[in-house]
Amino acid sequence: DCVHLMLAAGAAVNQANADGFTPLLVACQEGHLDVVRLLLAAGAAVEQVRDDGVTPLYKACEKGHLDVVRLLLEAGAAANQAKDDGATPLHIACQEGQLECVQLLLEAGAAISQAKDDGATPLFIACQEGHVDIARLLLEASAAVNQAAAGGLTPLLAACHNGHLEIARLLRDAGADLHQAAEDGATPLIAA
């Protein structure tokens, strides 16, 4: 009701605070679906970014607000828009274990092998964090099983280093190179 009141009184729908948060970005971060819907109808810019490149879609994926993610994608939010470090909504959804958000992003055409500035792909992040179902989904969508991040670290090496047995088994079965070493010579067996 307060949002209705402010908009009816002429409040600037795209005005950001000192930290770059717009009303839409805040509503997406907090998962307020009805407010997001209202702000979009009032002309909120779905692609407006903070200084660091964070978008409303990125925040909604980070927090796992599935209905907000769906609404933003329907409103034309770019699934592959990267923030300053190269992280996309798919990267953050993989990091935070937001399986259903990952599914929606893939359906919307999110780039499965797009790497962050440090070379980390969505699959690498899911394997490093131990999110088995997300790793399985990415592999089923043809993620590159041996694509290495900075330092030559592969998804298998990250999984072994962190003791994620089920993911290591999943990667092995998907054809991961058991002998691919990082730049420092570490192999998955050494990491394990």
pLDDT, tens digit (0-9, with 9 covering 90-100), for 158-179: 999 999 999 999 999 999 999 9
CA distance 33 to 80: 22
Amino acid 25: pLDDT? 96
Are the C-beta atoms of 79 and 105 separated by less than 8 Å?
Answer: yes
The burial class, CB within 10 Å (0-12 / 13-18 / 19+), for 148 is buried
Amino acid 27: pLDDT? 97
Average pLDDT over residues 148-158: 96
Residue where the block lists tokens 């909604």: 60
**CA gyration radius for the chain?**
19
Secondary structure of residue 11 in the 3-state scheme: coil
CA distance 22 to 25: 5
pLDDT, tens digit (0-9, with 9 covering 90-100), for 27-66: 999 999 999 999 999 999 998 888 899 999 999 999 999 9
Task: Please count the residues of the chain.
Answer: 192
Amino acid 26: pLDDT? 96
CA distance 107 to 84: 24
Q: What share of the chain is helix, strand, coil (3-state, %, to 5)?
A: 50, 0, 50
Amino acid 4: pLDDT? 87
